Amino acid sequence: MENYNHSSNMAIDITFQFIKERMAELGISQHQLSIKIDVSHSTLARNFRKETEMSLPSYYKICGALNLRPFLVPSEDDDTVMNRVSFN
């Protein structure tokens, strides 16, 4: 079995950085986001610090709150920063 921990951690870092940049762009604080998605501020803060894993429903709620699309794009079609992460 292959170990995907490194690529997974890289992708999480890139994703959280993108979310934080989008929050700054929209002027939304972490506390305001937690209220919008109905997740406690402490839980969201622990997610952002990678102390706990973010649930998939929370990720989708964040995408909705920040007007982002959570698309899964085939690697051959990916022209974003995420293409630097090798999952295979």
Residue 65 is assigned to a structural domain of this protein: yes
pLDDT band at residue 85 using 50, 70 and 90 as cut-offs:
low
Residue 12 C-alpha from the chain's centroid? 6
Residue 41 is assigned to a structural domain of this protein: yes
Residue 43 is assigned to a structural domain of this protein: yes
What is the extent of the structural domain holding 33?
Answer: 28-69
Residue 6 is assigned to a structural domain of this protein: no
Residue 14 is assigned to a structural domain of this protein: no
Closest to 30 (Cα-Cα) out of 55, 65, 56, 60: 65
Residue 33 is assigned to a structural domain of this protein: yes
Residue 57 is assigned to a structural domain of this protein: yes
User: Which residues fall within 8 angstroms of residue 34, CB to CB, at 6 or more apart?
Assistant: 40, 41, 43, 44
**CA separation for the pair 55, 9 (Å, rounded):** 15
Tokens for 82? Answer: 């995420």
Residue 43: predicted pLDDT: 97
pLDDT band at residue 69 using 50, 70 and 90 as cut-offs:
confident
Instruction: Please state the domain count of the chain.
Output: 1
pLDDT per residue as tens digits for the range 2-60: 678 888 898 899 899 999 999 999 999 999 999 999 999 999 999 999 999 999 999 99
State the CATH number of the domain containing residue 42.
Answer: 1.10.260.40
